Structure 1
């Protein structure tokens, strides 16, 4: 490797893409193409970066397995940043295996971090955690350690393990300081904002207030009966009952919890669960059936008792009943939660991340666009959707993945 390539690689490692380009901008050999691609990615020109990396991988040839693998890892990271979730994950796994087999521990660790970030984005926390546990970050250089700790913090935050997340972010900040890469420091600072921004709303006894992520964790450990509208579950400290596939039952449970310790009239329950403006005997009969089903679902956590006016929720163990609601409640809130990261998303990538059909996501995006809440650019397969980040609207409790005890 000649001195210009070495100097350009050092510049990229230090977060200086312009310095790297000054050395290799006019060269078309394979190492220069790869370095130019990474530099363009750091500068934000992802389309050009992807093309350069593909050219570099072809130019290296089959004998340069390690160099080709590094190009694949860089291309995978670009796909992740551009939210191309259809990019073949098996190619990244094969590249990581090649790097590990040839002793390139730093780039293999980087490949693992990219895999973890992708799994984290689509809510596969168990897989991400298993992959991270197989890596010891201590021998890694500061930049790679910071990336590792950011992944640890991301998993911990989604599991509502805020102490673990705080510790990981502190280690990430220290590693970023040692790496002396401004972009990495900014990424760590941005990740830390999740723990300092209201993550949900608490509704109890007719009052409402916002909660930080740490306060949500404390609420789940408090012994209260929580009707969790972020995940459509009912939980206390010992048990979780999911009503995610039973929207009518969850609507009834939430209405009863918001009124607790008072009861809720039958007419109010009919309006909340069935949206019935003028209830007849068939509606009342259906309400009795659904109340019976709700009693059966919640039998280990609470009873639903009949009163003179309607029904009331009676917890079995908990001394308090509260509702945990998202910070913003509106139609298609989950789509907005993903777009709030400021990245541009394709509708197909959103469908993968949300676990929904592409057509469902497309309809949601079109309705949000009509309301002026999202905007698109490009056409056909190249069409992307985005929105500026919404103040006070973090995504942790809306992104996929189980909360504790789910």
Structure 2
């Protein structure tokens, strides 16, 4: 490796893409193409970066498997940043194996981190935690230790383990400062801001107030009965009843939870659950059927009883009933939650992360676009979606991973 390549690589490691380009911008050999690709990725030109890395991989050829594997890892990182979650993860696994077999422990660890970050994004937290447990961050350089701790913090946030998240973010901040890379320090600060940003709203007895993430954690650990509109479940301690596939029943449960200890009129319940402007006899008959189903679903948590005007929830002695709602009520809140990270998402990546069909996601994106809450750019497979920043709308509570059962 010549001196210019070495100097460019050191500049990239220090977070100086312009310094790297000054040394290799006019070169078209494979090592220079690879470094130019990484530099362009650091500058945000991801399409150009991918093209350069692919040229570099072809230039290295089959006799240089380690160099090609490094290109694959770099391309995988670009795919992750650009939310191309359909990128072939098998290729990354093969590249990681090649690197580890040739003694490149650090690059192998970096590839493993990319695998874990993808698992976190698509909500496979159990698999992410198992993979993370196999990694020892001690020998990693400061920048990579910071990245490792960001992954640890991300999982802890999604598990609602706020104390563990704070500790991981503190370690990430220390490692980022040691690395001396401003962009990395800014990423850590942005991740830490989630803990001081309202993550949900508590609705109780007709009043609403914002909750921080640690307050949500405390609420779910208490003996309060929670109608969770972020996950569409009703929970009391370790007992969780999911109504995620029963939207009518959850609409009834939420309406009754918001009114507790009062009741909700039959007309209001019909409007809430069936979106009917006026309740006729058929609506009232259907309401009786659905309330009976809700009563059966929640029999281990609360009672649903009829009143003179409608229905009400009755909690066991000295237990409260509250509603935990997203910071912003929107029919497509889950899609908005993912778009709120500021990255450009494809509809296929959103579908993968949410565990929904691409057509369902596309309908949600079209509705959000019509309402001015999301915007698209590009065409065909290159089409990406972004959302303007929404104050008080973090993704942490709405990502598609189950909240802890106890």
Normalised TM-score (structure 2): 0.97
Q: After superposition, where does 1:30-69 map in structure 2 within 5 Å?
A: 30-69=30-69
Quickly say closer, same or farther: Cα 1:365–1:238, change in 2 above 3 A. closer
SS at match of 1:19: helix
* Distance (Å, rounded) in 1 between the aligned partners of 2:52 and 2:241: 51
Partner of 1:234: 234
* Distance (Å, rounded) in 1 between the aligned partners of 2:318 and 2:326: 22
Does the 8 Å contact 2:234/2:242 carry over to 1?
yes
2:100 counterpart of 1:100: yes
Q: Aligned-pair distance for 1:363? A: 2.4
Does the 8 Å contact 1:225/1:318 carry over to 2?
no
* Distance (Å, rounded) in 1 between the aligned partners of 2:268 and 2:372: 33
Partner of 1:327: 327
Structure 1 stretch displaced more, 231-240 or 326-335 = 326-335
* Distance (Å, rounded) in 1 between the aligned partners of 2:301 and 2:279: 30
Partner of 2:359: 359
Size of the alignment, in residue pairs?
A: 406
2:172 counterpart of 1:172: yes
Structure 1 stretch displaced more, 290-299 or 347-356 = 347-356
Quickly say closer, same or farther: Cα 1:312–1:370, change in 2 above 3 A. closer
SS at match of 1:385: strand
Q: After superposition, where does 1:67-146 map in structure 2 within 5 Å?
A: 67-146=67-146
* Distance (Å, rounded) in 2 between the aligned partners of 1:262 and 1:363: 37
SS at match of 1:235: strand
Q: Aligned-pair distance for 1:66? A: 1.3
Partner of 2:402: 402
Does the 8 Å contact 1:72/1:95 carry over to 2?
yes
Cα shift readout 1:227-273 (whole Å, capped 9, x = no counterpart): 00000000011211100001111111111111111122222222221
Q: Aligned-pair distance for 1:276? A: 3.0
Q: Aligned-pair distance for 1:318? A: 6.1
SS at match of 2:231: coil
Partner of 1:392: 392
2:276 counterpart of 1:284: no
Structure 1 stretch displaced more, 129-138 or 265-274 = 265-274
* Distance (Å, rounded) in 2 between the aligned partners of 1:387 and 1:299: 40
Partner of 1:151: 151
Q: Which consecutive residues of structure 2, in runs of 5 or more, have no partner in the other structure?
A: none
Q: Aligned-pair distance for 1:90? A: 0.7
* Distance (Å, rounded) in 2 between the aligned partners of 1:45 and 1:283: 55
Partner of 2:202: 202
Q: Aligned-pair distance for 1:347? A: 1.9
Cα shift readout 1:139-191 (whole Å, capped 9, x = no counterpart): 11111111110001001001100001000000000010111111111110111
Partner of 2:310: 310
Q: Aligned-pair distance for 1:101? A: 1.6
* Distance (Å, rounded) in 1 between the aligned partners of 2:80 and 2:318: 43
Cα shift readout 1:349-406 (whole Å, capped 9, x = no counterpart): 2222222222222222222222222222222222222122212111112221111118
Partner of 1:255: 255
Does the 8 Å contact 2:198/2:392 carry over to 1?
yes
Structure 1 stretch displaced more, 275-284 or 75-84 = 275-284
Does the 8 Å contact 1:232/1:250 carry over to 2?
yes
* Distance (Å, rounded) in 1 between the aligned partners of 2:183 and 2:236: 41
Normalised TM-score (structure 1): 0.97
* Distance (Å, rounded) in 1 between the aligned partners of 2:321 and 2:156: 26
Structure 1 stretch displaced more, 367-376 or 217-226 = 367-376
Q: Aligned-pair distance for 1:281? A: 2.9
Quickly say closer, same or farther: Cα 1:318–1:174, change in 2 above 3 A. farther
* Distance (Å, rounded) in 2 between the aligned partners of 1:267 and 1:234: 23
Quickly say closer, same or farther: Cα 1:98–1:382, change in 2 above 3 A. same
Partner of 1:225: 225
* Distance (Å, rounded) in 1 between the aligned partners of 2:147 and 2:63: 30
